[in-house]
Structure 1
Amino acid sequence: MKLSAPIYHLKRKAKRLSREQGIPLHDALDRIATTEGFSAWSLLAAKAAATTPAIRLFPQVQPGDLVLVGARPGQGKTLMSLELAVEAMKSGHRAAFFSLEYTEKDVLDRLRAIGVEPVQFDKLFEVDCSDAISADHVVKQMATAPRGTVVVIDYLQLLDQRRENPDLTVQVRALKSFARDKGLIVIFISQIDRSYDPMVKPCPDISDVRLPNPLDLKLFDKTCFINNSEIEFRAAS
């Protein structure tokens, strides 16, 4: 059964329903699931997880790759990155999520939103929401990570907000070298510039990445851009 909208849109709809009708979110989620033909949200999320585009995309990334996942807010870039991490863990690899945006609870809630109970991957998944996240911090924390580990960084533009951190280009180059040396897959979640107009092109591209500070985007090996149901995944030129 095909969903009427991407799962992140349905979840947003449930949150709005919860606010408008003053009901618990889990009840609102189940109501939305019913309209999609499922008796409970957990069943809908499990179905969505089984058919996620990440299943198709993950085999196209290789150890040592730097991957950029970009979208405007609310389009599912965080969920896509988590889905790629889940695909890695399904095959027995580790995954780590470094976030300067979310709390650990937020991250685990987003896993549940895509039908994944964190306990499934208790020994394979770690979340780091330290304020000190930078390339050096990631390298230190992942120093013993085995080949094939997926590292998600949320998000690119926040890496150099702290004055004491090196320039963004320096940090990305360091992580690229580290990923290749260790055989890790590093996924950067990225903001898209507000000038992007979906009426002009259905999906953003590398030219739409928001860059408050200079960065050579050729450092990325693969890109994944999302807008509504459109997903464009390609090797960076």
Structure 2
Amino acid sequence: MTITDLRRGDSEGSKPRIPPHNVDAEASLLGAMMLSEEAISTVLELGLTDQDFYKPAHRHIFDAIRSLTIGGEPVDPVTVGEELRKAALLDGIGGLDALVRLQNATPAISSAERYAKIVRDAAKLRRVITAAAAIAEIAYSEPPDVDKALDEAESKIYDVSAGKLNEGAQQLSDLLSQSLETIEERWNNPDSMTGVPTGFTKLDELLLGLQPGALNVIGARPGMGKSALALNMAVNVARNTMRPVIFFSLEMSAYELSQRVLASEASVPSEVLRGAAPTERQWTEIGRAVGRLDIPLIIDDSPSTSVGSMRARARRVRLAQGDLALIVIDYLQLMGGDAKVENRQLEVSEISRNLKLMAREFNVPIVALSQLSRNLENRGDKRPNLSDLRESGAIEQDADVVMFIYRGEAAGDSTAARGTADLIVAKHRAGRTDTVKLAWIEPFTRFENFFEGTSPTTI
């Protein structure tokens, strides 16, 4: 008996058996991918490949969509059709009309993940059939070394289920081994960090950097410098790691933020970039700063404000540019939920919970900026604390680290030192809390390391 015999059945005259598949699910999935970036991200995150599709035309369409996505190109019937035309495959799949029909016939974009799982499961069953046929072929060949044949058979079954045993659950021994490696690294390199350095020395010593999978919240009243601190961190991380950093800005445009970054880096007043004529020295510094800012910092000011839309865009960046180093969100209260909820407090609770899940999914630190309650202004002591987080106690609960910016001079304290800021680490799930002093260079909208008795150093 051969593999072909198995596929046809044992008895003479039996009809060929058709392998498991669901062409409707394949078509609906491809249509959803041509309608939604989030659907594309969801499908690629599941690890689907062109070989998971049963119909050859669907394999080609999926491959074209994936190629466009990796290249950062838009995906729709026209662009997919052009990609297929260049590969001389468009006529074979039925032309552009076939792509339009796929898109128009999609029952529900929101069901893309379900369609993908149907396609994936059918593909797994086909692989089981192929593996079983190959195992039968091994047995019918009557191999001289039976133990070796069994090993080969087990290997084929394992290939089908590879990775399934490792989803979610992990052996304690493996986790302890990882912990020992981390401790040994710290022992051999006392100055090394387990997280991503922010560029602020005292803060990095306290937190050991921003930890992968951690949600970090920075809160402050307006005018304290939340966005400036987050931008400084984003630039430092992108420059030091040369890995993608995404800055989701829900308040300022990408252009405004780029002007802030340039002014800070060049050490020139921001009004110079807004229209005032620069001096020759300032012009020289601006040119040098542009060269230094050749870093993988992506500023996203898209109007979509839900965690789901941000997750989809982050997946696309990761697919095109590699693993992320940091995600920054400015700011939390401007975000919207992925689903309708009864009130804003519940919505913010959902947002903070989903941000924590997003940090774990990407294994990357997230820095989310947060407004503070106006009640803070009515207190004699205007230094913020955890109860001042606006709209929801869930932010405090979900965050691994909560920091507050306090500048006495901005709060109206006439006794406060000028040009300084306190970064109050009020919550640190993995360690101690403390207050880190930073220098504040207001003309350049920049925070720096603070050194007692000396001028601040340039970041």
TM-score, normalised to structure 2, is: 0.37
- Kept in 1, the 8 Å contact 2:218–2:403? The answer is yes
Shift of 1:113: 3.6
The aligned counterpart of 1:111 is 261
For the residue of structure 2 that corresponds to 1:181, the secondary structure is helix
Q: 1:97 aligns with which of 238, 243, 247?
A: 247
Q: 2:202 aligns with which of 56, 61, 64?
A: 56
- Kept in 1, the 8 Å contact 2:305–2:334? The answer is no
Shift of 1:162: 9.3
Shift of 1:159: 0.7
Shift of 1:108: 0.9
Within a 5 Å distance, the mapping from 1:166-177 to structure 2 comes to: 167-177=347-357
Shift of 1:84: 1.5
The aligned counterpart of 1:217 is 396
Counterpart of 1:160, as a letter, is: G
Counterpart of 2:423, as a letter, is: I
The aligned counterpart of 1:152 is 328
Structure 2 runs not aligned, ≥5 long: 1-197, 267-288, 408-420, 430-459
For the residue of structure 2 that corresponds to 1:167, the secondary structure is helix
- Kept in 1, the 8 Å contact 2:239–2:296? The answer is no
In structure 2, C-alpha distance between the alignment counterparts of 1:61 and 1:53, rounded to whole Å: 11
- Kept in 1, the 8 Å contact 2:385–2:426? The answer is no
Counterpart of 1:88, as a letter, is: V
Within a 5 Å distance, the mapping from 1:12-51 to structure 2 comes to: none
For the residue of structure 1 that corresponds to 2:383, the secondary structure is coil
What is the number of equivalent residue pairs in this alignment? 185
Shift of 1:97: 0.9
- Kept in 1, the 8 Å contact 2:353–2:398? The answer is yes
Structure 1 runs not aligned, ≥5 long: 1-51
**231 and 114 in structure 1: CA distance in 2 versus 1, 3 angstrom threshold:** same
The aligned counterpart of 1:129 is 301
- Which has the larger Rg? 2
In structure 2, C-alpha distance between the alignment counterparts of 1:109 and 1:227, rounded to whole Å: 24
In structure 1, C-alpha distance between the alignment counterparts of 2:357 and 2:339, rounded to whole Å: 23
In structure 2, C-alpha distance between the alignment counterparts of 1:234 and 1:119, rounded to whole Å: 37
Shift of 1:91: 1.9
Give the structure with the larger helix fraction.
2
Shift of 1:200: 3.6
In structure 1, C-alpha distance between the alignment counterparts of 2:244 and 2:369, rounded to whole Å: 18
The aligned counterpart of 2:362 is 182
In structure 2, C-alpha distance between the alignment counterparts of 1:118 and 1:161, rounded to whole Å: 37
Give the structure with the larger strand fraction.
1
Q: Does 1:70 align with 2:219?
A: yes
Higher relative contact order, chain-length normalized (CA < 8 Å, sep 6+): 1
**119 and 107 in structure 1: CA distance in 2 versus 1, 3 angstrom threshold:** farther
Q: Does 1:208 align with 2:208?
A: no
In structure 2, C-alpha distance between the alignment counterparts of 1:80 and 1:185, rounded to whole Å: 16
**194 and 77 in structure 1: CA distance in 2 versus 1, 3 angstrom threshold:** same
In structure 2, C-alpha distance between the alignment counterparts of 1:202 and 1:184, rounded to whole Å: 32
Within a 5 Å distance, the mapping from 1:221-236 to structure 2 comes to: 221-228=400-407, 229-236=421-428
Taking only the aligned residue pairs, the percentage that are identical comes to 26
**161 and 148 in structure 1: CA distance in 2 versus 1, 3 angstrom threshold:** closer
Shift of 1:148: 5.1
Q: Does 1:120 align with 2:301?
A: no
For the residue of structure 1 that corresponds to 2:236, the secondary structure is helix
- Kept in 1, the 8 Å contact 2:238–2:295? The answer is no
Shift of 1:215: 3.3
Counterpart of 1:231, as a letter, is: L
**216 and 227 in structure 1: CA distance in 2 versus 1, 3 angstrom threshold:** closer
Alignment RMSD (CA, Å): 2.8
Shift of 1:224: 1.4
- Deviations 1:12-39 (CA, angstroms, capped at 9, x unpaired): xxxxxxxxxxxxxxxxxxxxxxxxxxxx
**87 and 234 in structure 1: CA distance in 2 versus 1, 3 angstrom threshold:** farther
In structure 1, C-alpha distance between the alignment counterparts of 2:423 and 2:369, rounded to whole Å: 14
